């Protein structure tokens, strides 16, 4: 079956319903040696990676199928390290542009 879904199904949308997905997900996890990975972990990783790459929350909400942006906003905390890294990069660039600090005259 030609389908855009990772786990294609026979429902009217062409994908597994949440109840039918459990067995398939357990089979995939076992085959991959990832028994402790939950389906939600994949969504969480996807959202955090999208945020780190600069995608907006509205876009990520659409990608995840969230109808409410506040549902997606739960992932916003994951971008903190990216924000710190960006701030450090900007600060380093500014410091380089400004050059070394002036040397105070000696009072001796």
Mean local confidence (pLDDT), 14-18? 63
For tokens 């005259």, name the residue: 105
First vs last C-alpha separation in the chain: 85
Note the helical H segments in the chain. 18-32, 39-52, 57-64, 69-73, 80-98
**Digit-coded pLDDT (tens) for 63-96:** 988 999 888 888 766 666 677 888 899 999 998 8
Residue 3: Cβ within 10 Å count: 10
Mean local confidence (pLDDT), 2-19? 66
Please check the confidence at residue 1 and state whether its pLDDT lies above 60. Answer: no
Rounded Cα distance between 71 and 108, Å, is 64
Rounded Cα distance between 86 and 92, Å, is 10
pTM: 0.54
**Digit-coded pLDDT (tens) for 40-63:** 888 888 888 888 788 889 999 999
Please check the confidence at residue 28 and state whether its pLDDT lies above 80. Answer: yes
Q: Find residue 8's DSSP bridge partners.
A: 15
Query: What's residue 60's pLDDT?
Result: 92
Query: What's residue 45's pLDDT?
Result: 85
């Amino acid at each position: 079956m030609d389908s855009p879904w990772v786990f294609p199904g026979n429902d009217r949308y062409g994908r597994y319903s949440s109840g039918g997905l459990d067995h398939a997900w357990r089979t995939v996890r076992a085959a991959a040696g990832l028994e402790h990975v939950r389906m939600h972990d994949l969504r969480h990783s996807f959202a955090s990676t999208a945020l780190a790459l600069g995608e907006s929350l509205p876009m990520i909400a659409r990608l995840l199928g969230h109808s409410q942006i506040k549902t997606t906003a739960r992932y916003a905390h994951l971008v903190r390290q990216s924000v710190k890294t960006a701030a450090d990069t900007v600060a380093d660039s500014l410091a380089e542009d400004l050059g070394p600090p002036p040397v105070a005259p000696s009072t001796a």
